[in-house]
Amino acid sequence: MLCLVAGKIGSQLVLLLTQADWLPYTPIAWNSSPVIPENSIVGRLLYALIGYEATPSMLQVGLYLLGVVTLVVSPLFRNSWQLQLSLANEN
């Protein structure tokens, strides 16, 4: 769940910075509003939980995936860092 929240934060960051003209506009990745409209109950619930956007831009999708992948992969690096620290402490 934390990974999805991190993705939501990244996506919202891109949306706000694009609206403020700090980031360039990128094309829309897809349009899922016929399936799940943003103003429906399900759409609002998904927006609150995972940052659902019916028409996300390519940059929003990219940063969403970057946030999710970063949190999924970070425990792997944590284990390798702990191993390196333990080896350094033994020497």
Note the pLDDT tens digit of each residue in 19-67: 999 999 999 999 999 999 999 999 999 998 888 999 999 999 999 999 8
Question: Among candidates 14, 18, 19, 7, which has minimal Cα distance to 47?
Answer: 7
The SS3 of residue 54 is coil
Residue 83 CB coordination number (10 Å)? 10
pLDDT of residue 27: 95
Distance CA 27, CA 57 (A): 6
| pTM for this model (two decimals) | 0.78
Are 66 and 56 in contact by the 8 Å Cβ rule? The answer is no
